[in-house]
Amino acid sequence: MATPAGPGARHHVPALHVHFTDTDALPFPTRSIARGDALYCAGEPLRSLYTVQSGCFKSVAAYPSANDDAVPHAQVTAFHLIDETLGLDGICTGHHESDAIALEDSVVRIMPVGILEPLCREYAPMQHALLAIMSAEIVRAARLALMLGTMPALVRVAAFLLDLSMRFDASGARPDTFDDVILPMTRADIGSYLGLELETVSRMLSKLQREGAISLHGRQLRIVDRTRLERIG
């Protein structure tokens, strides 16, 4: 690897979901979404990008089975925590490519696309930030693909927990300490995201707990031995 870095080097790009710090001053409107409701659905015309102010979302991409299965494969393609941006996948077609579902009662800041492009033409830092966010999203998706293509289940789960805890910590929104996280999604969501069945996720979590890397009660997760977890993931 050409980028030298210390332990935990894999995560030297922690802010994969970058946020629009420069727009904090701008009076964008907000919108509240109840747990389980959709912020937008696949196929809808793209009206805005959204930044999570509170709560949490998952992006679900549906896959039209060629031979009209009644079960058109679907997969969670991303989780979006506080300060992270949703809707980027819709820019290319002008339509959303996935559903965005709230995992908790949530609030988002609305950035209409019609305003966004002219804004970026005026403010170079804003343009740069948008490009950086999109590029980071490309990198994030590519790493996910890499993980799904090459890593065994235990490694995927461990890496997922590390990534999630870092992002929760970055958001600074939780009273949780660095090592305490409440998982906002179900085992099925995690499994879908990682390309595993929910039973496999559960088994790997149990295994990590037996090995002393984590402790968990339901969705309450504590990272007991981060070093051990990093060695695995």
Partner DNA sequence: CGTCAGGTTGACCGCTCTCAATGCGGGTGG
Partner DNA sequence: CCACCCGCATTGAGAGCGGTCAACCTGACG
Binding site for its own copies (CB under 8 A): 1-3, 5, 7-10, 13, 18, 41-44, 61-64, 66-67, 72-73, 75, 77-78, 88-93, 95, 97-98, 117-118, 120-122, 124, 127-128, 130-139, 141-146, 148-151, 192-195, 230-233
* Sheet with 48-54: strands ordered across: 30-33, 106-112, 48-54, 85-86
Spatial CA neighbour of 50 closest among 24, 76, 31: 31
Alpha helix positions (H), 35-186:
113-122, 124-150, 153-171
Are 48 and 111 in contact by the 8 Å Cβ rule? The answer is yes
Phi-psi region of 55 (alpha: psi -120 to 50; beta: other; left: phi over 0): left
Identify residues 164-183 at the interface with DNA (CB under 7 A): none
Residue of 110, 166, 202, 228 that binds DNA (CB under 7 A): 202
Residue whose CB is less far from DNA, 61 or 198 = 198
Phi-psi region of 43 (alpha: psi -120 to 50; beta: other; left: phi over 0): left
CA atoms of 3 and 206, how far apart (whole Å): 34
Q: Which of the choices DNA, its own copies, none does residue 205 contact, using the CB cut-off of 5 to 8 A by kind?
A: DNA
Residue whose CB is less far from DNA, 38 or 154 = 154
Residue whose CB is less far from its own copies, 194 or 221 = 194
Q: Which of the choices DNA, its own copies, none does residue 146 contact, using the CB cut-off of 5 to 8 A by kind?
A: its own copies
Q: Does 77 bind DNA (CB under 7 A)?
A: no
**Least spacing, CB of residue 20 vs DNA, in Å:** 32
Residue whose CB is less far from DNA, 53 or 202 = 202
Residue whose CB is less far from its own copies, 195 or 203 = 195
CA atoms of 51 and 157, how far apart (whole Å): 26
Using the contact rule CB under 7 A, the part of the chain among 23-31, 39-47, 124-132, 213-221 near DNA is 213-221
CA atoms of 134 and 144, how far apart (whole Å): 15
Q: If you write DSSP's letter for every residue of 163-186 in order, what string do you get?
A: HHHHHHHHHT-SS--TTEEE--S-
Using the contact rule CB under 7 A, the part of the chain among 13-21, 48-56, 158-166, 186-194 near DNA is 186-194
**Least spacing, CB of residue 177 vs its own copies, in Å:** 23
